[in-house]
Amino acid sequence: MIQAKQELLAALRAAVAELGADVPAQLSFESPKQASHGDLAVTAAMALAKSLKKNPRELAQQLVQALQAQPAVQRWVQAVEIAGPGFINLRLAPAAKQQVVAEIRDGGEGFGRKAANGQRVMVEFVSANPTGPLHVGHGRQAALGDSICNLFEAQGWDVTREFYYNDAGVQIGTLAASTQARLQGLKPGDEQWPDAAYNGDYIADIAADFQAGKTVTADDRAFTASGDPADLDSIRQFAVAYLRHEQDLDLQAFGVRFDNYFLESSLYTTGKVQEAVQKLIDAGKTFEEGGALWLRSTDYGDDKDRVMRKSDGTFTYFVPDVAYHINKWGRGFTKVVNIQGSDHHGTIARVRAGLQAAGVGIPQGFPDYVLHKMVTVMKGGQEVKISKRAGSYVTLRDLIDWTSRDAVRFFLISRKADTEFVFDVDLALKHSDENPVFYVQYAHARICSVLAQFGRDVPADADLSLLAAPTELALMMKLAELPQVLERAAADLAPHDIAFYLRDVAAAFHSYYAAERFLVDDVALAGARMALLSATRQVLRNALALLGVSAPQSMQRGEEAAAEQP
């Protein structure tokens, strides 16, 4: 069907050109809002009516006549209809839909993917300061970031995953002081316990390992403890390495990797922050007032000018961000995506203003942002707010331990990033259609069961023309959408579209499973249906892989294994 749609799109372009109109660069087919209206919709008549000074419906009739003369339309289209003010609906011939089964078979794991395009993109995500275990918000960010990286790779991009964190700020000082207090025998609740200290059990674990003189190794650093409770610098470095190691374990359990780790402190030690500030001063985009240095960010659409350097000589939060993104640009990343919590919304305008004002060639709108809202965790009908390990919040590892990696990844990607999300632990454990990840994975497992019962290889020369049942045609239409869904999801930075699509494919398959028999006496029909099942399994695998979710070959539904077709 991919080939059929390409040929039909070329036919549409030729038909539009015949009418004397300039062919729009974005000319494409749309999906009718109701399946009863057809398979593909064309809105070109309404879009071109004004420039051609014609009535849209009249123009639609002329376009239909031009389309019907095209060989591709004669081959792949069963009927062409005009609706409303000038919509053109195409009903595809069964052969066009059946074609996708062979296309998926030939494409295999590569079906839906594009060839390398020579372009580079950096996606920065998680970027958690090493002050405690990763919480569920970091988990949502990890699921979003990793899936977006997978989508870009599927579209042919060369992707770099980067983790940015501060190893020398105020929070790190608090971490060191909290660990030192534990080493001195203090604990939360004691009179001398620091007010701002971190209270989780993990602080006691860090202190015990520090006292034992242990060595900890993370992906980007290693450190051996001095064991001296008075050595605050050693405590700080050990605690940072310890928690980076813990974060690595969390991310490994979640199936997320990074190509590079970048330290905020390096922007200061290498002079990058001061270089960025000087660029802004030299560009005439700063002024001094009240002992502080300000950026004229209102010149770039910000609602007010922003303080860069406070009267005490320290820089505000967005200044190292400006320096960091100049560094990203300098490394050759002309496409950059940042995945951050919604609390970073206020920094976007000032960071982009600083990048424009620096005059280093960075275009407007750089970088792209995906801002996500936090996650509420429900268990046993009650909101869960604390973790024994973390002390004040639910950790990513808690969610994985309570449910599974697959459930956490699918759930956290199943809604738009900027919407509130409630993670229902009880729902994630259900083996029923209510649980979306189970619903999708069970479709894959059901197919594997039927193919196993078939007991032999799927025939490569299956007669696909036999796939004419309504549920078969609907399923094939849905399978053919994968390339377009991936392209759109990558462009919109919207991996939740993949979760929606997977549920649609699973629904189409389950409807097919309920309506038709697969292991029939008719050898040719059985072979054709096995070919369709194999194609459906491949699409489910390909799309699940982009979300980092497995495709199991067997599952149980409810308390007992679901009965399969004989």
441 and 532 assigned to the same domain: yes
pTM for the complete prediction?
Answer: 0.92
472 and 440 assigned to the same domain: yes
Does residue 61 sit within a domain? yes
Residue 385 pLDDT: 84
207 and 228 assigned to the same domain: yes
What span, in angstroms and rounded, lies between the C-alpha atoms of 141 and 374? 9
Contact between residue 109 and residue 300 where contact means Cβ atoms under 8 Å apart: no
Contact between residue 369 and residue 154 where contact means Cβ atoms under 8 Å apart: no
CATH number of the domain within which 23 lies = 3.30.1360.70
Does residue 16 sit within a domain? yes
Contact between residue 423 and residue 375 where contact means Cβ atoms under 8 Å apart: yes
Contact between residue 3 and residue 106 where contact means Cβ atoms under 8 Å apart: no
Residue 294 pLDDT: 97
Does residue 403 sit within a domain? no
Tokens coding 110: 């590569």
Task: Please say which residue of 236, 257, 278 terminates a domain.
Answer: 257
Contact between residue 71 and residue 39 where contact means Cβ atoms under 8 Å apart: no
Over its length of 566 residues, how does the chain's per-residue pLDDT go in tens digits?
Answer: 788 989 999 998 898 888 877 777 778 888 887 777 888 998 888 888 887 788 888 888 888 999 999 999 999 999 998 988 888 999 999 999 999 999 999 999 999 999 999 999 999 999 999 999 999 999 999 999 999 999 999 999 999 999 999 998 899 999 999 999 999 999 999 999 998 999 889 999 999 999 999 999 999 999 999 999 999 999 999 999 999 999 999 999 999 999 999 999 999 999 999 999 999 999 999 999 999 999 999 999 899 999 999 999 999 989 999 999 999 999 999 999 999 999 989 899 999 999 999 999 999 999 999 999 999 999 999 999 876 666 678 999 999 999 999 999 999 999 999 999 999 999 999 999 999 999 999 999 999 999 999 999 999 999 999 999 999 999 999 999 999 999 999 999 999 999 999 999 999 999 999 999 999 999 999 999 999 999 999 999 999 999 999 999 999 875 444 445 54
Domain count, the chain: 3
Does residue 405 sit within a domain? no
Task: Please say which residue of 195, 226, 257 terminates a domain.
Answer: 257
545 and 463 assigned to the same domain: yes
Tokens coding 228: 């001296």
21 and 107 assigned to the same domain: no
How many CB atoms sit inside 10 A of residue 301's CB?
11
24 and 70 assigned to the same domain: yes
544 and 480 assigned to the same domain: yes
103 and 208 assigned to the same domain: no
CATH number of the domain within which 449 lies = 1.10.730.10
Does residue 308 sit within a domain? no
Does residue 437 sit within a domain? yes
Interacting residues of 63 by C-beta distance below 8 A, sequence separation 6+: 15, 16, 19, 42, 44, 45, 88
Does residue 503 sit within a domain? yes
Cis peptide before 194 (omega within 30 of 0): no
Does residue 505 sit within a domain? yes
What span, in angstroms and rounded, lies between the C-alpha atoms of 424 and 155? 33
Neighbour-count burial for 61-96, b at 16+ CB within 10 Å, e otherwise = eebbebbeebebbeebbeebebeeebbbbbebbbeb
As a residue count, the chain comes to 566
202 and 190 assigned to the same domain: yes
- Give 477's DSSP letter: H
Task: Please say which residue of 257, 276, 300 terminates a domain.
Answer: 257
468 and 535 assigned to the same domain: yes
How many CB atoms sit inside 10 A of residue 407's CB?
24
115 and 66 assigned to the same domain: no
What span, in angstroms and rounded, lies between the C-alpha atoms of 530 and 41? 31
192 and 247 assigned to the same domain: yes
What span, in angstroms and rounded, lies between the C-alpha atoms of 359 and 299? 13
Containing structural domain, residue 15? 2-92
What span, in angstroms and rounded, lies between the C-alpha atoms of 306 and 206? 39
Residue 85 pLDDT: 86
What span, in angstroms and rounded, lies between the C-alpha atoms of 198 and 274? 32
C-alpha R_g of the chain: 29
